[in-house]
Amino acid sequence: MKKRFTSILALVMALMLCLTACGGKTDDNKGNEGNNAGTETSLEGTYDITVWVSESAGVKELTEQQIDKFEAENPGIIINATVEGVSEAESATQMINSVEDGADIFCFAQDQLSRLVMAGALNKLGAAASASVKELNDAGAVKAASVAGDLYCYPLTSDNGYYMYYDKSVVKAEHLDSLEDIIADCEAAGRNFSMELETSAWYNAAFFFATGCTSEWTTDQDGIFTSVNDTFNSDNGLIALKGMQKLLKSPAYVSSSKGADFAAAIPSAVVISGTWESSAAKEALGDNYAATDLPSFTVDGKSYHIASYSGNKLMGVKPQLDAKKGAVLHKLALFLTNEACQLERFDLVGWGPSNLAAQGADRVKNDAALSALAAQSPYAIPQGNIHGSWWDIAKVYAVAAKAATTDAELKDALQAYEDSIQGLFSMSDEVKNAFTVIGTLADTNWDTDFAMESTADGVWITKEAYDLAAGVEFKVRQGLNWDIAFPAANYVVETAGKYKIQLTVHGEQGTVELIPQ
């Protein structure tokens, strides 16, 4: 499943070097483009490009306006842009499945960086663009956009973290630092407490980081994972699960991170989420809207402040055969992530800037959600590159903790987690190459892989037939990982029935279909 597009990278770089040598002096102060290619006039021309941006309301239209501004500031460069709304997670998956068919410029969450580099989906920044990015953005954002010290993309935000939204008519101000007291306030008011624990490792890892546990992954220059330093299976990990149980076992608990939960039939009084839910939270709570850092939990008389991940949204440029087009794309990406464009996104959807000057704007510093994010930042762990299988593996201990009644059962869950982590580095070639189905089929919730067998060249089918209700969702993935997964968006069953699931791989694409039984 090696991507064909990767094979052209050497040619692309050769073309870039040629254009650099022939194009004259670059105006570094204007931050022309990622590969220092050519002069202002050498880039004149008409370029047809595709840009993938967030599906958040208004972002597509704003991006189109920003591209128009770029053209106005760069006479002679004409951009015929097709701007499409694609979620950050789906854009990475679609790029990896077929780099050649992917967008020229695309946005993604930083945990996808290694797999995008491995797929050859990102054109590394040149010296001038790298210098501009390092000068203009916070250090965490620069690190998030780098692999082995080299910048591969442009920071878009520094707000990919979470904190606590709450209804201040329910949660007492004096209880804000105590998880136990907040849960009691919710239960007394008959209101819910929303936090994704069983359904998201990104959120549930916060309890482990609170007790000092680590999970740090190492990659080589090509983005391939070589080792992990993970201490979740430890005495501190046991404390973390005990703290997590306090919420998991509460009748107020809901596994969700949606601001709309504040307006649900049984409304939540607390939602643990990020800036992307600020508008929904404000609309639902009105004058009772408030946000702050996460609380602490207590185990055996000791208090632990719940931690979090901190991270970034990033903007990448796909390698191009046309070196001039590649240079224009880098120039445009640098423009779309500058101070003015980041502030426009903040004004529209509340995204927290990575640009240092934008961070200093009064309206950014005074924003309640970003203030909560800032209050949480001393307890936040920068999100590095993480193996794609970890996100499934790390949900299982939360599911086990909700049902567990003894320390022994919690320890078993942690041991199973460690065994799965270590298994990633001893996986056989047979498992790495095999396809499996994962989703909501057979009473599972994206936590179980169902075996498939190869019946012909490029054709895989499940070994068993499954009763699938309408609305069941799934994907077919390779190697128990998300680097190669089909279809790009979840497959949704339309008509209930008993089916086998079949995948047909053709080149870099895959067709998934249901086979009635």
CATH of region 429-516: 2.60.40.3620
User: Which pLDDT score is estimated for 385?
Assistant: 76
Helix 59-73 vs helix 323-336: crossing angle, to nearest 10 = 120
- When mean pLDDT is compared across 38-47, 63-72, 83-92, 174-183, the lowest value belongs to 38-47
Residue type at position 276: W
CB 196 within 8 A of CB 411: no
455 exposure class (CB count in 10 Å sphere: 0-12, 13-18, 19+): exposed
Do you find a cis peptide bond into 487, omega within 30 degrees of 0?
yes
Two structure tokens written together for 69: 């501004």
User: Which pLDDT score is estimated for 432?
Assistant: 86
Alpha helices of 212-258 — where are they, by DSSP H? 235-248
Identify the residue whose tokens are 């080299």.
150
User: Which pLDDT score is estimated for 75?
Assistant: 94
Nearest CA to 183 out of 164, 199, 200 is that of 164
Question: Does 307 have pLDDT greater than 90?
Answer: yes
Question: Does 1 have pLDDT greater than 80?
Answer: no
User: Which pLDDT score is estimated for 90?
Assistant: 84
User: Which pLDDT score is estimated for 427?
Assistant: 83
Domain limits, the chain: 4-159+312-360, 163-310+381-423, 429-516
Cα angle 507, 6, 45; round to 5? 105
* pTM more than 0.85: no
User: Which pLDDT score is estimated for 54?
Assistant: 92
Cα angle 469, 93, 103; round to 5? 125
The arithmetic mean of pLDDT across residues 316-333, rounded, is 97
The arithmetic mean of pLDDT across residues 486-506, rounded, is 93
Percent of the chain with pLDDT over 70: 92
- When mean pLDDT is compared across 288-297, 354-363, 506-515, the lowest value belongs to 506-515
Residue type at position 96: I
Each residue's pLDDT tens digit, 373-424: 989 989 998 887 788 889 889 999 999 999 999 999 999 999 999 999 998 8
Q: Identify the CATH homologous superfamily for domain 163-310+381-423.
A: Periplasmic binding protein-like II (3.40.190.10)
Each residue's pLDDT tens digit, 220-275: 777 678 899 999 999 999 999 999 999 999 999 999 999 999 999 999 999 999 98
Each residue's pLDDT tens digit, 285-305: 999 999 999 999 999 999 999
Question: Does 199 have pLDDT greater than 60?
Answer: yes
Q: Is 319 helix (H, G, I), strand (E, B) or coil?
A: coil
Nearest CA to 204 out of 479, 402, 480, 415 is that of 402
Confidence at 2, pLDDT banded by 50, 70, 90: very low
Query: Do 4-159+312-360 and 163-310+381-423 have matching folds?
Result: yes
User: Which pLDDT score is estimated for 263?
Assistant: 97
User: Which pLDDT score is estimated for 258?
Assistant: 96
Q: Identify the CATH homologous superfamily for domain 4-159+312-360.
A: Periplasmic binding protein-like II (3.40.190.10)
For the chain, state the CA radius of gyration: 24
